[in-house]
Structure 1
Amino acid sequence: MPTAPETTSAATLHPKSSHPRWLRLAHWLNALAVLVMVTSGWRIYNASPLFGFSFPKSITLGGWLGGALQWHFAAMWMLVAVSLFYLIINVVSGRLSRRFFPVSPKGFFHDLGSALQGRLGHADLGQYNQVQRVAYLFVMLDITVLVISGLVLWKSVQFPLLRELLGGYDSARYVHFIAMSLMVAFIAVHLVMVALVPKTLLAMIIGHKEHV
């Protein structure tokens, strides 16, 4: 007796994108905002350096202090708006708990060891390993610190509680600089990882389909 043909599920016919349009849009807008903020921030830093060095003018944005401030504030609003958009969608949709948790020290160091030995798989780009989860959660926290410390530097009188939580205006400058430096370090590592696994860049440009 002939068996009934296998049915094809809707998920097989219509694979789901692990990088939906809203995610790719938020990624590239935030990448632009961070690039503008970092390079204009370097020009602002040069006007009153915290340490015994300045950034080469050729890699800064704004030309002069006033111009750098305008670029910095414009990118700040983009970063805040896009980051809130990204966070709200992740929380409301449940994606935050699905993609970024659970995390544990044991799982993190296991995946880190596998990555350093080139044994970490990248077949499913929609599933984050624990190194990626920790890195992306760190970026969310770092952006929060950048925004809070930036508000203190911008409107110190209007945000006295934030100023005191950061130890005063001068301390907020160091917090802001350290948070910026950590962001630049993350970007550098991120670019190295993209170079090692080029298909992740393609997926963030055109999306990546996965069957669910």
Structure 2
Amino acid sequence: MKADPTPPLPVRGKPLQPLWLRATHWINALAVLIMVMSGWRIYDASPLLDVTFPAGITLGGWLGGALQWHFAGMWLFAFNGLAYLLLNLSTGRLVRRLFPVTARGVLADARRALAGRLAHADPSRYNQVQRAAYLFVILDLVLLGLSGLVLWKSVQFPLLRELLGGYEAARWIHFCGMAALVTFALGHVVMAVLVPRSLLAMVTGGPRSRRPGQETAS
């Protein structure tokens, strides 16, 4: 009697969140945390508004220490952010996951979310509110970087300084961009708590997609 051949091992598909995305995401989160907390200490040395940040939530201890932390976070953010963008573009993930997005689609998904009717059954697809939010934060981070260059090396970047409306205008842009980033981060954390599997996927990679032709398990 002829023995049955050994069945082939099951072929696993790609993870929902690839390793490079998870790595750059968490490195970016660390870099942003360093820059925001040290930036609050720098802001306190010359505030734009009649408010300052409590010392307990700032980083650096004093202006010189905060500047050192800020520059360290800046280089980490710059190199990691560049890697993130290049990998997203080269793999096609940026276009595939964040487009198309329209004002009508964003408003429609926002209404569904407020009514509690926005589905999260397919974690591989972003709704249009998510797409708009992620595109916004990418642009916001770019603007923070550009305005930060003006604040750091104003004389060396005269054209950029003028495009942003001058040094003082760049300070306001940097401050408002920081406020928008913190608001996004808080909303991001809230959504991760409400949909915990999205956070789990950013840690473990999440469920793996099946390759074409792979049979569905019964």
Q: Tell whether the structures are fold-level matches, with TM greater than 0.5.
A: yes
Matching of residues 126-165 of structure 1 within 5 Å: 126-165=124-163
Task: Tell which structure's C-alpha radius of gyration is larger.
Answer: 2
Partner Cα separation in structure 1 for residue 93 and residue 186 of structure 2 = 26
Partner of 2:181: 183
Matching of residues 55-134 of structure 1 within 5 Å: 55-134=53-132
* Corresponding residue SS for 1:102: coil
Q: Aligned partner of 1:150: which letter?
A: G
Partner Cα separation in structure 2 for residue 118 and residue 192 of structure 1 = 15
Partner Cα separation in structure 2 for residue 108 and residue 16 of structure 1 = 29
Partner of 2:210: 211
Q: How many residues align?
A: 203
Partner of 1:3: none
Does the alignment pair 1:15 with 2:13? Answer: yes
* Corresponding residue SS for 2:149: helix
Gaps of 5+ in 1: 1-7
Q: Is the 8 A contact 2:12 2:209 kept in 1?
A: no
Partner Cα separation in structure 2 for residue 32 and residue 116 of structure 1 = 31
More displaced stretch, 36-45 vs 127-136: 127-136
Given the alignment, which residue of 181, 185, 191 partners 1:193? 191
Partner Cα separation in structure 2 for residue 160 and residue 89 of structure 1 = 31
Gaps of 5+ in 2: 1-7, 212-218
Q: Aligned partner of 2:58: which letter?
A: T
Matching of residues 30-41 of structure 1 within 5 Å: 30-41=28-39
Partner Cα separation in structure 1 for residue 32 and residue 122 of structure 2 = 27
Q: CA deviation at 1:124?
A: 2.1
Q: CA deviation at 1:109?
A: 1.1
TM-score (norm 2): 0.90
**Cα deviations by residue, 1:83-117 (Å, 9 ceiling, x for unpaired):** 11111111111111111110111111111111222
Partner Cα separation in structure 2 for residue 81 and residue 112 of structure 1 = 34
**Cα deviations by residue, 1:148-195 (Å, 9 ceiling, x for unpaired):** 000000000000011000111111000000000000000111111111
Counting aligned pairs with the same residue, the percent is: 59
Partner Cα separation in structure 1 for residue 66 and residue 103 of structure 2 = 40
Partner Cα separation in structure 2 for residue 197 and residue 42 of structure 1 = 30
TM-score (norm 1): 0.92
Q: Is the 8 A contact 1:42 1:55 kept in 2?
A: yes
Partner Cα separation in structure 2 for residue 66 and residue 180 of structure 1 = 20
Partner of 1:4: none
Q: Is the 8 A contact 1:124 1:210 kept in 2?
A: no
